[in-house]
Amino acid sequence: MHLFLERFAAQLDPDEHAVVVLDQAGWHASRALTPPATVTLVPLPPYSPELNPVERVWLYLRERFFSHRVLNDYDTIVGALCNAWNQISRERMHTLTKYPYIEQVIA
């Protein structure tokens, strides 16, 4: 996780700051985890998928691209997922992941 955050922060422009919402996975909650100065970590309460922005993205993908489909193998699944992911516009991603509590944390 530390390596991911370092690489993620390296992709930010010098004047950007990122907020990363984390579920309660063990590697997200490690006390040894120190995020870069340009990244703020926002942990969610336990058992709260309704607060996790990525859950809404996955729901959107499942409802529009994967419902009532049978995918035969790993490569087909990966291809279908990549195709669906690439069809989400920046605006749609913003509306799916915009939560009032995130705005309050970064204000």
- Per-residue pLDDT tens listing for the chain (107 residues): 889 999 999 999 999 999 888 887 777 777 778 899 999 988 888 888 777 788 888 888 889 888 888 889 999 999 998 988 888 888 888 888 887 776 776 66
8 A C-beta contact, residue 39 and residue 20:
yes
Query: φ, ψ for residue 21 (rounded to 5)?
Result: -90, 130
Distance CA 59, CA 95 (A): 13
- Domain residue spans of the chain: 1-47, 52-98
Helix 53-61 vs helix 90-97: angle between axes, to the nearest 10 degrees?
Answer: 130
